[in-house]
Structure 1
Amino acid sequence: MKFFSGRKKTGKEEKKKQSALREWVDACIFAVIAGTLIRTFLVEAFVIPSPSMEQTLLINDYIFVSKISYGPRIPNTPLAIPFTQASLPFFKSLKPYSTAVQWPYYRLPGFGNVQHNDVVVFNLPVGDTVLRDPSGGDVNYYQELHKENFPPPDIRPVDKRATWVKRCVGLPGDTLQIDANMVCINGVEQPLPAYSQHRYQLYSNECKSLPDSLKKALQLDENWRVLNADSSSYTINLTTVAVKKLKGTRYAIEPLLQNEGNRDSRLFPQDFSYHWNEDYFGPIYIPKKGATIVINHENIPLYYRVIATYEKNKLDTTNGTIRINGVPATAYTFKMNYYFMMGDNRHYSEDSRFYGFVPEDHIVGKAVTIWFSFGEGSIRWRRLLSGIK
């Protein structure tokens, strides 16, 4: 049964009700537009999902990334649902963007350029083609080519590829080499970031019962310590700060490195002629826009993706001749700048040692601030609003 008030609503009251609804709609539209513009051109928030940058950045550090540090990119795919990336949260199979309109790479002026040791957020270069596992998660297409139990690959534009964060150790035009885990640029050994982690062997007869004070001082995490078979040593990840604290104590430490010349088949450029591993890598020239290099069958594995994928040339290396766009070639001039990225957790990081150069059009911005951090069941208060170095 309906009850009536006995009087009709006036036109003024109906208009007032409609105006209130209109205000809410207008406010929502304004918020979406403003948020999209801020996220595209000024600053964007990210969360750290992996330990590859420990101890500089920890899992569940929430960071702000400055787009104006290097200049904001114009989106490649302007037709997209705001605040989404490659898929929708609960509908992994649906794409929240359309490739009907695609804009070429263009970057607005910024405050500067990428510098050595900047912590940079970028789109994953090998994220151009991904596979999906049964749960809808991304799988590296280039590492799983031999498998047949995946659906057709997902081809993604640059701005919809996965976003990663690493430290820039090599700039365009640099010649980089990793020698005994030390990065050398143009023959000069580079200082280690203060809180970068490296693998060491720690010796002591007391390894089964390290004092809690020492564990706290070294910021040891049980997940990253392995007791070796002789029960007198640990394989352990330590920061450079922790190593300094151990010097002069009764605990002996030494770097734990792979043997020079031992080939790691996972590493770039995945070619049998390159016997590189995580601790001994290069030398390798990092492409610079406008620079011309000699290309041959010995070095073409290093620059194949640069020439064919990132700079969109037709490259043919069969029949003993290198052909670019159908023309025999002995040299190549680069169209973009490229960078070499590494994680601070040097022995637990999938970085440019695995997937090669990061093109300039993949650079998202500079990681500048940790605005929130959560771990071990509580807020990490000391990390809030701290700068990233």
Structure 2
Amino acid sequence: MAATHPESTTQRTRKRRGRVDTPSAPSADGQARPPKSKLREWVEALVFALVVMLVVRTFLFDLFRIPTPSMEKTLLVGDYLFVSKLHYGVRTPISLGIPFTKIYVPGLTLPHTRLPGFTEIERGDVIVFNYPPEDLPIDRKTHYIKRVVGLPGDTLWIQNKVVYVNGEPQSLRPTMQQYWRIIKSDPRIMLPEVRLAELGIEEVQPTPDPRQVLIMATPEAAEAIAQWPYVERVEPLVIPRGGTYSDLMYPPGMGYSPDNYGPVVIPAQGLNVTLTEENWPYLEPVIRRYEGHTTGRQQDGTFLIDGRPATTYTFRQDYYFVMGDNRDNSEDSRFWGFVPMDHVVGKALFIYFSWDGRHHLPRLNRLFKPIR
């Protein structure tokens, strides 16, 4: 017969009541320790959860919310995104401070690198990055989200709203939208609001010409309107070169507009370029801001890098040209320039939640929707 330990009367009573006390753990000197208080258990659990969250958000993935309409209709205001940091490789911390805030030790830059990822950035990817022009350490800059249009080494230009990359026109995706000019056959006809709403069109603007109306729409919606019997034609609204936009573009003063831009060559790691009057205006800020050199010009026009005459320059990292899917309502590379690789945070994968602030309801049809 197996031996059993006798139970005291108190222990038998506690078991009948459904309660079993945890015995005190012995300390190093053999003395029993008192059990942890509930407060201490909660504090330890909270600290553990914070550490796990910090590690996950720093090295695996992060969560972001869309606050502006610059990516409509691909992404809507109120969409919550799952962003992978593993795809392009994890970027180690650059500044020292409180994580995920703009509180940091000024003047201190940590040695940093990007760990290997399992894919390269491809044209068409929707990426999250730190806003390049902001005057803060890279990992403390505001997060932006845009679509990659131009890759390192590409030659890009925009002509009458059509983006050309290495000479190839890039068609609009189904969820992209822009302004279109609707020319009606009769100025007295009003476009029916119900039919516009069915096509997802919320913005309609009158013009001085009663025959013309401006709408913000996807290519599919614009094509559908063009089939209406009282619509003569539908055409993109194009802003010509020059005018008031010239000083707002990147680089300023080149006569560019959002719809007629470039051409520009996108810098690439190891790319050696000959410096010219044509490319100096858009390459000089890159060399100075993101490559860490001083730049200037001599009186005779000679280019200076770190105080020495230069006729060529070799870039140390890759750069990307990004644009919003809401082409006429997006502040992107057309306005502030290229995205350096060390500013890239990760790849947007899917929408895990969406909140319609106008109607104060969740958008259930967008839950776990992949981002394409």
**Structure 1 length normalisation: TM-score?**
0.82
Paired with 2:250 and 2:349, the residues of 1 have a C-alpha distance of: 29
2:327 corresponds to 1:346: yes
Where structure 1 has 5 or more consecutive residues not aligned to the other structure, the ranges are: 1-10, 87-95, 130-155
Paired with 1:123 and 1:172, the residues of 2 have a C-alpha distance of: 18
Bigger shift: residues 193-202 or 162-171: 193-202
Distance 1:16 1:219, change over 3 A: farther
Instruction: Find the counterpart in structure 1 of residue 27 from structure 2.
Output: none
Q: Residue 313 of structure 1 contacts residue 325 of structure 1 at CA under 8 Å; is this kept in 2?
A: yes
Task: Name the larger-Rg structure.
Answer: 2
Q: How far did 1:297 drift?
A: 3.6
Instruction: Find the counterpart in structure 2 of residue 143 from structure 1.
Output: none
Residue 237 of structure 1, aligned match among 216, 228, 246: 216
Paired with 2:304 and 2:196, the residues of 1 have a C-alpha distance of: 58
Equivalences for residues 102-181 of structure 1 within 5 A: 102-127=109-134, 129=135, 156-181=136-161
Q: Percent of aligned positions with the same letter in both sequences?
A: 40
Paired with 1:352 and 1:207, the residues of 2 have a C-alpha distance of: 41
Paired with 2:142 and 2:125, the residues of 1 have a C-alpha distance of: 19
Instruction: Find the counterpart in structure 1 of residue 14 from structure 2.
Output: none
Instruction: Find the counterpart in structure 2 of residue 267 from structure 1.
Output: 249
Q: How far did 1:111 drift?
A: 1.6
Where structure 2 has 5 or more consecutive residues not aligned to the other structure, the ranges are: 1-22, 25-31
Q: Residue 264 of structure 2 contacts residue 279 of structure 2 at CA under 8 Å; is this kept in 1?
A: no
Paired with 1:180 and 1:343, the residues of 2 have a C-alpha distance of: 17
Instruction: Find the counterpart in structure 2 of residue 329 from structure 1.
Output: 310
Equivalences for residues 53-92 of structure 1 within 5 A: 53-77=71-95, 79-82=96-99, 84-86=100-102
Instruction: Find the counterpart in structure 2 of residue 277 from structure 1.
Output: 257
Aligned length: 337
Instruction: Find the counterpart in structure 2 of residue 202 from structure 1.
Output: 182
1:366 maps to a residue whose letter is K
Provide the secondary structure at the position in 1 that maps to 2:286: helix
Tell me the C-alpha RMSD between the 2 structures.
2.2
Instruction: Find the counterpart in structure 2 of residue 151 from structure 1.
Output: none
Paired with 1:326 and 1:211, the residues of 2 have a C-alpha distance of: 64
Distance 1:382 1:261, change over 3 A: same
Paired with 1:240 and 1:371, the residues of 2 have a C-alpha distance of: 27
Provide the secondary structure at the position in 1 that maps to 2:133: helix
Bigger shift: residues 378-387 or 116-125: 378-387
Provide the secondary structure at the position in 1 that maps to 2:248: coil
Q: How far did 1:326 drift?
A: 1.9
**Structure 2 length normalisation: TM-score?**
0.85
Residue 41 of structure 1, aligned match among 59, 67, 72: 59
Q: How far did 1:191 drift?
A: 2.0
Provide the secondary structure at the position in 2 that maps to 1:215: helix
Deviation string 1:110-155 (CA, Å, 9 cap, x unpaired) is 121110010111101101x2xxxxxxxxxxxxxxxxxxxxxxxxxx
Q: Residue 147 of structure 2 contacts residue 322 of structure 2 at CA under 8 Å; is this kept in 1?
A: yes
Q: How far did 1:261 drift?
A: 5.0
Deviation string 1:24-73 (CA, Å, 9 cap, x unpaired) is 22211111111011111111111111111111111111111111111111
1:248 maps to a residue whose letter is Q
Bigger shift: residues 307-316 or 356-365: 307-316
Q: How far did 1:207 drift?
A: 7.9
Deviation string 1:64-92 (CA, Å, 9 cap, x unpaired) is 11111111110101x3223x332xxxxxx
Q: How far did 1:101 drift?
A: 4.4
